[in-house]
Amino acid sequence: MNFLIQLVIVANLLSFAYVIIIGSVYMIQLLGSGISITKIVKSRYYSDHRRFLTSEHMIPISLLVPAYNEEKTIADNVRNLLALDFPEYEVVVVNDGSKDQTMQILLEEFSLVKVDQPIKRSIQTQHVKAVYRSLDYPTLTVLDKENGGKADALNAGINVSEYPVFVSIDADSLLDKDSLIRVVMPFVQDSRIVCVGGIVRIGSGNEVEAGEIKSIGLSKKPLVNLQTMEYLRAFLAGRIGFDALGVLLIISGAFGAFNKQHVIAAGGYTLGTIGEDMELVVKIHRFMREKKADYRIKFIPDPVCWTQPPESFSDLRKQRKRWQIGLVSSLMLNKKMMFNPKYGRVGMLALPYYLIFETIGPFFEVIGYFTIPISYALGLINMSFFLGFFAASILYGIALSIGALLLEENTLKRYPTMGQMFKLIGYAILDNFGYRQLNTLIRVEGMLTYRKNKNKWGSIKRKSFSES
């Protein structure tokens, strides 16, 4: 019995230590992000990036859209991409064996005709059944291929793409008019750039007409608005902080730009993993480090991609389990980089961070949710410890969420009305009373079911942009 009591007390201490340490790390990231984003916004103010819209020296790019069962969103998605401000680009949609009307909608909406086009197989993929071109939009190409998963679809898009930089975009997302020029500018300014990530925001409250974003708003659904705050916190406090340290490991699959030559040299997207976005970035770090190349991977917060989030708890659970399983898979595939000085700060700092705080850490936090209240009820810990754990857990979370929101309001200002800001402040507080803890439980569930689900993508219900 004494041994069990000691074990519970040790578990309590580990949980409390984890909450304090991870909260402090997040706050340091937020402070670093504040400094970085202020510099970015100032440089944007003094730069005339729009003059490059008519420049013949701008890098041409390929937009790759993997699509599997996207009949609700694919037409508006493609219309949005075809109307962006950029001097020279192509749109390549890859229908990855959809079982719904995705391909039929593309054929009808964009007047597609089959063409006899050879495809250079730089990366091996599942069989491409046909290549289509649009009679109305000369820059649109559609591949119809056998199902192979998102990574395989992107690899097929890389094979058929014409230009030296490609941008991956999810079929349930829309871009701001000037997003392309902003995400490509780092490639123009610095030849060492290999990949650039843009910010992804929740767009379910936006007014959309024929793929064009007419106004920015918030959803009427609490679960969606909780995710809006979560995305702000993750991108503004997390990604910018990692970028400042030069150890960015995740570029969202919804919106990221890549040097095609380096991606092909690294082997393309990895098949058999459901976290293909993180895996590609880590693979590129590994490839460039082993070549001893001078390179940069960047995140910038002002090219915006608006995405559809899960609107039900069931879909949210599927998505977050998939994210966590993808994280674990990427760490396992790249375990030789872990704590290896050969890979610099990526091996010695970034990968250990994800292992300790994002993979193992949630177990300690969840254990604390159960053992600390029980320990207090049994008299094993005092009131100070009990209140200290929950105060640290809740107050750190609120401070981080409010901090990310203030950072947004004082720099990027994407939500135009005071009513929207007050509403987000409310959700920034509410987020810490159940939603964040629930996400931690889902992450633990994802890790516990890793072997069973490591190759299962899962499906999430989509709506048209007007319905959302």
3-state secondary structure the chain: CHHHHHHHHHHHHHHHHHHHHHHHHHHHHHHHHHHHHHHHHHHHHHCCHHHHHHCCCCCCEEEEEEECCCCCCHHHHHHHHHCCCCCCEEEEEEEECCCCCHHHHHHHHCCEEEECCCCCCCCCCCCEEEEEEECCCCCEEEEEECCCCHHHHHHHHHHHCCCCEEEEECCCEEECCCHHHHHHHHHHHCCCEEEEEEEEEECCCCEEECCEEEECCCCCCHHHHHHHHHHHHHHHHHHHHHHHHCCCCCCCCCEEEEEHHHHHHCCCCCCCCCCHHHHHHHHHHHHHHHCCCCCEEEEEEEEEEEECCCCCHHHHHHHHHHHHHHHHHHHHHCHHHCCCHHHHHHHHHHHHHHHHHHHHHHHHHHHHHHHHHHHHHCCCCCHHHHHHHHHHHHHHHHHHHHHHHHHHHHHHCCCCCHHHHHHHHHHHHHHHHHHHHHHHHHHHHHHHCHHHHCCCCCCCCCCCCCCC
Read off the pLDDT band of 467 (50, 70, 90). low
Task: Identify whether the C-beta of residue 249 lies closer than 8 Å to the C-beta of residue 351.
Answer: yes
Amino acid at 187: F
The token duo for 24 is: 């402090």
Position with higher pLDDT, 10 vs 124: 124
Give CA–CA dist 358/454, Å, rounded: 17
pLDDT tens digits, one per residue of 337-378:
999 999 999 999 999 999 999 999 999 889 988 888 888 888
pLDDT at 50: 62
The token duo for 382 is: 């005092």
pLDDT tens digits, one per residue of 238-296:
888 899 888 999 999 999 999 999 999 999 999 988 899 999 999 999 999 999 999 99
Of 65, 211, 61, 80, nearest in space to 142 by CA: 65
39 beta partners: none
On the question of pLDDT at 421 being above 60, the answer is yes
Give CA–CA dist 434/311, Å, rounded: 17
CA 253 to chain centre: 6
Task: Identify whether the C-beta of residue 246 lies closer than 8 Å to the C-beta of residue 307.
Answer: no
Q: What is the pTM of this model?
A: 0.92
pLDDT at 45: 55
CA 255 to chain centre: 7
Give CA–CA dist 319/389, Å, rounded: 29
Position with higher pLDDT, 468 vs 213: 213
Read off the pLDDT band of 446 (50, 70, 90). very high
| Chain mean pLDDT for the chain | 90
On the question of pLDDT at 54 being above 70, the answer is no
Most confident of 303-317, 389-403, 415-429, 449-463: 303-317
pLDDT at 53: 62
Give CA–CA dist 103/144, Å, rounded: 8
pLDDT at 303: 72
How many Cβ atoms are within 10 Å of 440's Cβ, its own excluded? 18
Q: Which of 127-136, 303-312, 337-346, 381-390 has the lowest mean pLDDT?
A: 381-390
pLDDT at 47: 60
pLDDT tens digits, one per residue of 88-120:
999 999 999 999 999 999 999 999 999 998 899
Most confident of 147-156, 416-425, 448-457: 147-156
pLDDT at 381: 82
pLDDT at 426: 95
Of 213, 211, 209, nearest in space to 201 by CA: 213
**% pLDDT > 90, the chain:** 62
pLDDT at 320: 95
pLDDT tens digits, one per residue of 283-332:
999 999 999 999 999 998 877 899 999 999 999 999 999 999 999 999 99
